Amino acid sequence: MKAFLAVCVLFVAAGAAKAKRIVGGQDTTIENYPWIVQLDTYNTWSMTWSQGCAANILTATYVLSAAHCFESGQAHAPHRRIRAGSTYRNTGGVVHYISTVLNHPEYRVASRFDGDITLVKLSTPLIFTSKIQRGTIIVQDGYIPDGLRVVHAGWGTTTWGGVAARILQDVEVNVINNELCASRYLQLDRNSIVTKNMICVGLLDVGGRDACQGDSGGPLYYEELIIGIVSWGHRCANDTFPGVNTAVASYTNWIVANAV
């Protein structure tokens, strides 16, 4: 039997996303985002664990993250774990180790970051509390309009090349037109390809707000709906080149079919 996985159609009204203002963000708490978890890696040289990506709770045994967080040596399950239910980076909450990782089969096929999405199965099930909750994902091919105000959350660096946040951060950004975003990135690098399976967000021609290093695999929310996964971009909070996220709506059917 398939585990319950919440999927929701996105109905967009004229209202804003949840009013939260990561680069250019502010401190928040895990109670505001109980669907996000830290994704840790074990360093065999220092023999320590540290958060380097994030993920989103789907069911008691599955979380959703970015495929690029599990490339090469990082894919080894015994060296990966999650921390759920904590506002603070690398401390608190509960730790669950990883059993298996399933990157999307189209990852890196159409372009370097196309299909940048992965399902992570936990060795032991999560116990849901006020700080640990199942997230809801957008329906397959759900429409995300340009200009929609959306929210990032995570423990990544607060400046490009800076120090990771100790406390969970959130920041509000806008959805940028996909074709405009794609044309901008092609001016930067012919290999920086934005596909229809991606969502660009930021403050275009202004900058100052974005996800950053260490936020990969974490969520892009519209209100409490997971619509994107932090994927790539040019540095962080750039005014010309928006941050790029995997569009969950392109992969919802795959997620539902495999998160069992």
C-alpha 55/C-alpha 75 separation (Å) is: 14
C-alpha 104/C-alpha 249 separation (Å) is: 14
C-alpha 218/C-alpha 61 separation (Å) is: 17
Tokens of 61: 């045994």
**Is 40 one of the catalytic residues?**
no
**Is 68 one of the catalytic residues?**
yes
Q: Could you say which of 65, 86, 192, 216 is catalytic?
A: 216
Q: Are 239 and 206 in contact (CB under 8 A)?
A: yes
For β-strands 94-103 and 118-122, DSSP reports them as antiparallel
Q: Could you say which of 40, 65, 68, 250 is catalytic?
A: 68
Question: If we measure between CA atoms, which residue out of 163, 69, 159, 155 comes closest to residue 119?
Answer: 69
Gyration radius of the chain over CA positions: 17
C-alpha 28/C-alpha 168 separation (Å) is: 6
Q: Could you say which of 116, 170, 210, 215 is catalytic?
A: 116
| Helix ranges (DSSP H) in the chain | 178-188, 252-258
18: burial class by Cβ within 10 Å (0-12, 13-18, 19+)? Answer: middle
Instruction: Please list the active-site residues.
Output: 68, 116, 216
